[in-house]
Amino acid sequence: MIYQIFKILSSAIKNPTTELVYSSNFELLIAVILSARTTDKTVNKITEKLFKIANTPEKILKLKVGAVKKYIKSSGFFNTKAKNIIATCEILVKNFNSQIPTTREALEKLPGVGRKTANVILNIAFNEPTIAVDTHVFRVANRLGLVKSKTPEETELKLLKIVPKKFAKTAGNLLLLHGRYTCLAQKPKCKICPLSKLCAYKFKIY
């Protein structure tokens, strides 16, 4: 059944990747940092303007924290995010030759980068078979009955054990996009859901 679920999702969702707009790994990193408690749509509006002015660690540092705050003020917790972005850029320039590190350990040492953000970077930028568990992935994975978990990390670890190898690199985004557009939090669109015949939630065993 698990294979069938991801096969159906893969057929329904043609481009299972992030909806954040970026043109480099650095831009992706900044966009994902900004996406915490903020919609991708809002982040894309912010970065469209920000990246025209500053799209490298060096250029961000030249802006300084005050200017960064002005650019990202429509993002949630923008004061903290601005400080984290500046601190992250300083580390990238000093320790990584302005390149994005390729390991989880190094990524999670960057200010503003937690496990979920690191997973996004590893998956999208470096094609690693990771799963970034946000509210959508957590909800959908539990609703479908793929896992029974109480935390994002528990959800991630359980999913990694059961996701078929064929879908290892796309599973997280398939679940995320399904949750964002079909399996909504308050009013899931069960009538048009391609997984309705396989869903634990539909049959009240959620």
Query: Structural domain boundaries of the chain?
Result: 2-16+130-192, 25-125
Fold of 2-16+130-192: Endonuclease Iii, domain 2 (1.10.1670)
pLDDT at 206: 45
- Asked whether residue 153 carries a pLDDT value surpassing 70, the answer given is yes
Q: Is residue 47 within 8 Å of 39, Cβ to Cβ? A: no
Q: How confident is the model at residue 201 (pLDDT cuts 50, 70, 90)?
A: confident
In Å, what is the CA distance from 128 to each residue of 6, 69, 105, 150?
A: 18, 32, 14, 25
- The residue annotated as part of the active site, out of 41, 59, 81, 116, is 116
Q: Residue 205 pLDDT > 60, yes or no?
A: no
Average pLDDT over residues 156-162: 97
Q: Is the dihedral of CA 164, 23, 103, 180 positive or negative?
A: negative
CA dist., res. 169 & res. 183, Å (int) = 21
Residue 199 above 70 pLDDT? yes
- The CA-based angle 39-162-170, given to 5 degrees, is 40
Tell me the average pLDDT of the chain: 96
Q: Are 28 and 40 in contact (CB under 8 A)?
A: no
- The answer to whether residue 134 is catalytic is yes
Local confidence band at 132 (pLDDT 50, 70, 90 cut-offs): very high
Rounded to a whole number of angstroms, the distance between the first and last alpha carbons of the chain is 16
Question: pLDDT band at residue 200, thresholds of 50, 70 and 90?
Answer: confident
Other CB atoms within a 10 A radius of the CB of residue 59 amount to 14
Residue 69 has pLDDT above 60, yes or no: yes
Report residue 202's pLDDT band, with 50, 70 and 90 as the boundaries: low
pTM of structure? 0.93
Pick among 1.10.3720.10, 1.20.1260.10, 1.10.340.30, 1.10.10.10: CATH of 25-125: 1.10.340.30
What single letter denotes the amino acid at residue 76?
G
Q: Which of 69, 81, 134, 158 is catalytic?
A: 134
Quick check: 203 pLDDT over 70?
A: no
